[in-house]
Amino acid sequence: MARRTNELSIINSPKIVKEIDFKTALSLFVDDCEIRNLRPQTIQYSRNELSVFYKIIREKEFNPAPTNITKDQIKSIILHMKEKGLQTVTINTRLRAIRAFFNFLHRDGILRKSIK
């Protein structure tokens, strides 16, 4: 007999989303973090780092919708942070939050492909 999963089938059903704005996606991500019972400090860290990411996207005049962000834009943002003199540890910390955000969007069916 197959093992029973603890996941609800409603949660796993793919969502049909054409385009979602960054703030809505961030809100969904934070809600998911709370559902997964992450520590409040972890949720605040993610929110802070993703807010900085959003600010950089706006500075670079990219379309902030997560469905429109490309690998090349992420590379450009990394270079932008290096040019501002941020330490490698800071950049990697920010990238960890960004990676978690995009993996969530991919897992939740909002993005077809995850940015790697």
Q: What is the CATH number of the domain that holds 91?
A: 1.10.150
13: in domain: no
For the chain, what is the domain count? 1
* Whether the predicted pLDDT of 110 surpasses 50: yes
Q: What is d(CA 87, CA 51) in angstroms, rounded to the nearest whole number? A: 18
Q: Quote the mean pLDDT of the chain.
A: 85
| Higher per-residue confidence, 1 vs 90 | 90
8: in domain: no
Give the residue numbers spanning the domain of 100: 20-107
Q: What is d(CA 93, CA 8) in angstroms, rounded to the nearest whole number? A: 32
**Beta carbons within 8 Å of 14's beta carbon, 6+ residues apart:** 109
1: in domain: no
Q: What is d(CA 98, CA 81) in angstroms, rounded to the nearest whole number? A: 14
Q: What is the pTM of this model?
A: 0.79
